[in-house]
Amino acid sequence: MKLYNTQTKQIEDIKPLDPPTVSVYTCGPTVYDYPHVGNWFTFVRYDLLIRSLKLAGLTPKWVMNITDVGHLVSDADDGEDKLEKGARREGKTAWDVAKFYGDYFQDALKRLNISQPGYLTKATEHIQEQIELVILLQNKGFTYTIDDGVYFDTAKFPQYGDFAQLDLDEQQAGARVTYNQQKRNPTDFALWKFSPAGQQRDMEWDSPFPAPDGQARKGFPGWHLECSAMAMKYLGETIDIHSGGIDHIPVHHTNEIAQSQAATGKPFSQYWMHANHISIEGEKISKSLGNGITLEDIEAKGYSLEVFRLHVLESHYRSQSKFSWDSLEAAKNRLHALQAFADLRFQASTDAEPHGADYFADKQQEMTAAIKDDLSTPEALRILSQVVDQAGQTKLTFEDASHLEVFIDFVDSALGLSLGKRQAISIEQQKLVTERDAARADKDWSESDRLRDLLQEQGISLRDTGLGALWSHIDSPI
């Protein structure tokens, strides 16, 4: 399997350290609000990575974190923790907010048919591991303490800007003046933040890190720290694949690399996969712009989440994709065509022309090759549409219907579209289809129309062919 590696800027063959196991760490959500469609585009693409690794014969060991503390409202080390902000907005505790949106996220994974990570780890449940990582970095001389916390000294890690190709001299010259002028370098980042003096946070812990005045102060971990601590706990000091959004490259992932490799002296990840931005009407998705569309907004417009998933797969993960209601409508029509195609396996005929024993197997191989080539779902869907156009216009032989069953199982496994969960129509409905075929043969158009309308009312659409009508559920029954 091939994947574009952000670190080398090349498409490379995936060669796990301990095959067939492939270790994967994914940056998960900060659970302070409902995720928007841009977030869900990215999580569907993480799922695609996991499905593709399995398709390539590998066994993913997948860790995804849930950030329930430590993520400040900006990438800088100032401002308010997003969980505290969510708590203030909703009049709840930060713990209540984290539980509500954390539970929502896990439920939404299932609704979108996203694979369940082997480990879905919370930052608040790994405080000790994060403290131990800071202590290790302290002992190796990579940290310093200022009034608001313990910081990583990026000047002591010469490779700091390599991953994101940062111009550190330019950053130094253009550093803006902030309230915190104690940082040695603009790129230095907080490993552990002290709770503000005289304030009690919802989420704070004792630590062995005294403030500069020597007083013990409660505090909380920096956002970047959790990913390194949890990735190394569950996957080892060097992991195979680290995935995240493209916006993580210049700060979050750069900081992860610095603190991890400073601690271990080893490469943190062999491969880095990054999903690109999503825009709506040419604008970046932002709640302040009022375009932070949620899954519930999509459903309220009458679209299933299966339609949304297909829409995500229609663009490549490295492209700057666009979301619009028009494109979602097109994906809905495309999904209906795929569903009607899947329904053909219930409608075999002895009069059908065979496609041949190898037809579906060959198309499966073509789709597999596309997906294993840097997750090229647009190409895989093009091949799938070709199959629908060629084999989906009339009834299949019983042998072809059996091959289609296997092919649909493959499509579901690779793309997560759940086509195989569709059901045959009832015996009574099949009897109505047969009666309508007879009415058409007798040119009894009135009776033919009546039966069509009756089936339509029951959610069954018909398409007439030379071998009789093909039926399909109007909407997916799952």
- The residue whose two tokens read 């809905």 is 332
CATH code assigned to 2-275:
3.40.50.620
Q: Please tell me the predicted confidence (pLDDT) of residue 214.
A: 87
Q: Each residue of 268-284: pLDDT tens digit?
A: 999 999 999 999 877 87
- pLDDT at 247 exceeding the cut of 80: yes
185 contacts 153 by C-beta, under 8 angstroms: yes
pTM of the model: 0.93
3-state secondary structure of 460: strand
Say which range, 215-219, 324-328, 382-386, has the weakest mean pLDDT.
215-219
- pLDDT at 383 exceeding the cut of 80: yes
Q: Please tell me the predicted confidence (pLDDT) of residue 173.
A: 47
Q: Please tell me the predicted confidence (pLDDT) of residue 170.
A: 59
Q: What is the dihedral of CA 414, 418, 419, 421, to 10 degrees?
A: 130
Total residue count of the chain as it appears in this document: 478
Q: Kindly provide the residue ranges of all beta strands, DSSP E only, lying in 288-398, ordered along the sequence.
A: 321-323
Report the alpha-carbon distance of residue 378 to residue 75 in Å, rounded. 33
Considering the four listed CATH numbers 1.20.120, 3.40.50, 1.10.8, 1.10.730, the one that applies to the domain covering 283-422 is 1.10.730
Q: Encode 9-63 in three state secondary structure.
A: CEEEECCCCECCEEEEEECCCECCCCCCHHHHHHHHHHHHHHHHHHHCCCEEEEE
- pLDDT at 477 exceeding the cut of 60: no
Burial (CB < 10 A; 0-12, 13-18, 19+), residue 222, is buried
Q: Which helix (H) or strand (E) holds 194?
A: strand 189-194
Confidence of residue 401 (pLDDT cuts 50, 70, 90): very high
- pLDDT at 213 exceeding the cut of 90: no
The domain ranges of the chain are 2-275, 283-422, 423-478
User: Which residues are paired to 471 by β-bridges?
Assistant: 462
Q: Please tell me the predicted confidence (pLDDT) of residue 174.
A: 45
Task: Give me the percent of the chain exceeding a pLDDT of 70.
Answer: 95
Mean pLDDT, rounded, for 310-331: 95
Burial (CB < 10 A; 0-12, 13-18, 19+), residue 258, is buried
236 contacts 260 by C-beta, under 8 angstroms: no
Identical fold, 2-275 and 283-422: no
Q: Please tell me the predicted confidence (pLDDT) of residue 181.
A: 82
The torsion angles phi and psi of 157, rounded to 5 degrees, stand at -125, 90
3-state secondary structure of 213: coil
Report the 10 Å Cβ neighbour count for 287.
10
Confidence of residue 77 (pLDDT cuts 50, 70, 90): confident
Q: Please tell me the predicted confidence (pLDDT) of residue 176.
A: 46
Mean pLDDT, rounded, for 413-427: 95
Report the alpha-carbon distance of residue 432 to residue 455 in Å, rounded. 8
Report the alpha-carbon distance of residue 419 to residue 65 in Å, rounded. 30
Mean pLDDT of the chain: 93
